[in-house]
Amino acid sequence: MRIHQRENASRANGPGQRAVIWTQGCTLACPDCFNPETHLNQSGQDVDVAELVDWLLAQPAELEGLTISGGEPFQQPSALAALLTAVRSQSHLSILVFTGYTQKELLAIPSAAQTLDNIDLLISGRYIASQRVASSLIGSANKTAHFLTNRYTIADLLTVPEAEIWINPDGSVTFSGIHPLQW
């Protein structure tokens, strides 16, 4: 799987403490995307799905779930399906996926139905800056939260902070959360 970055512990990318994987590669190129550095397919790093699963299983027990963001995760449909199937079968972790595709568009992607079967919460739709909401994991008003299992409700989304800031060991700063962070 081609990834941009991964994070062991986030609270701004879904309910509870979550591991996050940002995929690399996106041809949707939504104007004002918060993660334009994830668009180029040739950037990032290739990581074996088994290595990502091992990394997730090694996380502390208090980890609530896994969030997959992008880039566009569904532009790597086979790898995404393999990762989520393994996570679902080998752990207690909840699974949340952000996608720029609508749910209808996803059904035209090979292996998307299998992937959707392994997702608890899907946030779908392209980001539209003029419809900015930036609340409860929803970046713009056109986006839809699909509760694919009963693990979460809208009340759970209200507990998620809008953003977080990490100071990395090398001194660099990473912002995460709903696009765009406004101060």
> Is the pTM above the cut of 0.95?
no
CATH code assigned at 22: 3.20.20.70
State which residues form the domain around 64.
Answer: 2-177
* Segment 100-139, tens digit of pLDDT: 999 999 989 888 888 999 999 999 999 888 887 877 888 8
Q: Which amino acid is at 136?
A: S
Give the count of domains, the chain.
Answer: 1
pLDDT at position 161, please? Answer: 86
The C-alpha atoms of residue 109 and residue 137 are separated, in whole angstroms, by 24
The C-alpha atoms of residue 168 and residue 108 are separated, in whole angstroms, by 39
> What are the start-end ranges of the H helices in the chain?
49-57, 77-90, 103-106, 112-116, 154-157
Q: Assess if residue 183 is contained within a domain.
A: no
pLDDT at position 27, please? Answer: 95
